[in-house]
Amino acid sequence: MAELPFFGAGVSYRDAWRWDVVRHRDALGVVECIPDNIAGEAGLRDCVLIAQAVPVLLHGIGLSLGSAGGLDPDRVRHVARVVEAVEPPWFSEHIAFTRAGGVEIGHLAPLPFTREAVATVAANVRQLRAALPGLPILLENIAYPFSLPGAEMGEAELVRAILDETDTGLLLDLENVHANALNHGYDPIEYLESLPLDRVVEVHLAGGLWQEGQYLDTHSRCVPEESWHLLEWLIPRSRVRAVIIERDDDLPAFSALLAEVRRAEEVLCVAR
């Protein structure tokens, strides 16, 4: 992963911000688009136009790399088509499954912490890599409200094993680390120390909220101070090439996003 370019900080793309992204392109190091949300020729054309203004990363949410039944060929072909049009420096997806027994779950579900799950993800990544020859692939840790029974290892050990087996980079979602630390009672720094930080290429930051005694990673709030502190700890210890501020719901004024982008850039600059 040493040869990958540095982009700095940017935002996850949302249609409501189409013209804001173009207007403020000089303030953005990068924009991250979701291929699953790109529909038809018009959607693909929009993504290409954005890539002409700002460097674009592609981030999948629906390939379901943890599904024992393998990848959906139609979804893989769609991702490959978007990759061909946009030419991103890497492609990322989640260590999760979104489909089981042919049923779409509708959200990212955690894998069992087992060697079988590691082998399943590895087989699916091989299939994906065959469709995206030569393109580096990153895998992202997810937030999970509960642990599945029958664990043979801890969460960090699962992530390490999958990265080793697949020879992929890590998209480290620090808000997911923050959420899991709160909900499962562990020290987030100790968790980060147990990860292969030399594999970190990209970071996600977002904000969530408390609901019925649990912290939910809703991507609907500004980045909490706890996650900023994790970024400040991480940056001197890894070679992060991009930091993405994510927001899915309760979209704020774009100026509020730019303030968080600037803060992330400041953290990156201090380390560099």
In a domain, 2, yes or no: no
In a domain, 1, yes or no: no
For residue 62, give its domain range. Answer: 8-271
The total domain count for the chain is 1
In a domain, 96, yes or no: yes
In a domain, 54, yes or no: yes
Q: What would the mean pLDDT of 193-202 be, rounded to a whole number?
A: 98
pLDDT (tens digit per residue) in 108-150? 999 999 999 999 999 999 999 999 999 999 999 999 887 778 8
Q: Which amino acid is at 77?
A: R
pLDDT (tens digit per residue) in 62-98? 999 999 999 999 999 999 999 999 999 999 999 999 9
In a domain, 187, yes or no: yes
Q: What is the CATH number of the domain that holds 89?
A: 3.20.20.150
In a domain, 211, yes or no: yes
pLDDT band at 272 (very low <50, low <70, confident <90, very high): low
